Amino acid sequence: MAAPIAYSLIATDLDGTLLRGDDTLSDRSLAALARVADAGAQHLVVTGRPAPRVRPLLDDLGTTGLAVCGQGAQVYDAGADRLLWSITLDRELAETALGKIEAEVGQVYAAVDQDGVDGLTLIEPGYLMPHPTLPAVRVDRRDDLWGEPISKVLLRHPHLSDDELAATARSVVGSLATVTMSGPGTVELQPCGITKATGLALAAEHLGLRPADTLAFGDMPNDIPMFDWAAHGVAMANAHPELKAVADEVTLSNEDDGIAVVLERLLGGAAQYGPLTLSIEP
């Protein structure tokens, strides 16, 4: 076994963080995560993607343990292909929240992630998937989105930026839902009070680990609660300014194997790869 790593739990976002822009994992990242496992640490995916959209990536990683999905609304057991914990967004509250947002900004286009290990992603007319490689089912009208329990609602506006849409949504939604921004074209409504930190805390407790044991990586404002919970938060070079502002450290981009760079440094094997991390003041 390799020398122990400073952290027992490595929590990584996927899109814009561990994954490259084409949804692939680099050999260098895979090798670094394998070394982490050899050193006795756990790797935990913490993502906004729902469990069904994460399962193929977990297979690529060889993960048979836990993953936090749906912005913290799901704790998924990959080995058993079941949800250990999940919470749904009340569909009436979701409709009310959408109405409040549209009263302020005009028409938005919506999609939903259904709950469950086989839940579908449904998109209404006009909604464009931010990740065109992810499967989705187009429905004829908005009412068709609410047929089954959902874990979250995804929103897009034809003109407003993600920051503008998220700010307006937060100002009018109140306690109806939690508003997050998790990537380009991805403003979301999830159950009130649920964040990545919620799911991460549950998964860590299941593993017998604590915030002090945790190193977290991310790139978007939805990762802020995870950084607040973990002992050390590392933002990618491509991260949103809001996340960089609260990060303990900034590494290279997802395209430049920023996660691997940090893990190699911690494992004592980074010299052969050149520059380490770009640091910032906490």
Q: What is the pLDDT of residues 125-139, one digit of tens each?
A: 999 988 777 899 999
Q: Give me the torsion for CA of 211, 49, 51, 6, rounded to 10°.
A: -30
Rounded to whole angstroms, how far apart are CA atoms 127 and 108?
Answer: 8
For residues 97 and 185, membership in a common domain is answered with yes
Tell me if 138 is assigned to some domain. Answer: yes
Tokens standing for residue 198: 């919620």
Tally the domains of the chain: 2
pLDDT of residue 132: 73
Last residue of a domain, one of 171, 190, 209: 190
Confidence check: pLDDT of 237 > 70: yes
For residues 229 and 263, membership in a common domain is answered with yes
Rounded to whole angstroms, how far apart are CA atoms 70 and 75?
Answer: 9
For residues 82 and 203, membership in a common domain is answered with yes
Confidence check: pLDDT of 71 > 80: yes
For residues 47 and 180, membership in a common domain is answered with no
Mean pLDDT, the chain, rounded, equals: 92
For residues 109 and 173, membership in a common domain is answered with yes
- Please enumerate in sequence order all residues whose Cβ is within 8 A of that of 271, keeping only pairs 6 or more positions apart, or say none: none
pLDDT of residue 108: 97
Average pLDDT over residues 36-63: 93
What is the residue range of 102's domain? Answer: 91-190
For residues 130 and 210, membership in a common domain is answered with no
Average pLDDT over residues 18-39: 94
For residues 81 and 113, membership in a common domain is answered with no
Last residue of a domain, one of 155, 190, 225: 190
pLDDT band, very low/low/confident/very high, at 243 (cuts 50, 70, 90):
very high
For residues 205 and 249, membership in a common domain is answered with yes
Instruction: Report CA-CA distances (Å) from 43 to 31, 33, 66, 164, 214.
Output: 13, 7, 9, 34, 10
For residues 95 and 81, membership in a common domain is answered with no
Kindly report whether the global pTM for this prediction surpasses the value 0.85: yes
Average pLDDT over residues 210-229: 98
pLDDT of residue 62: 87
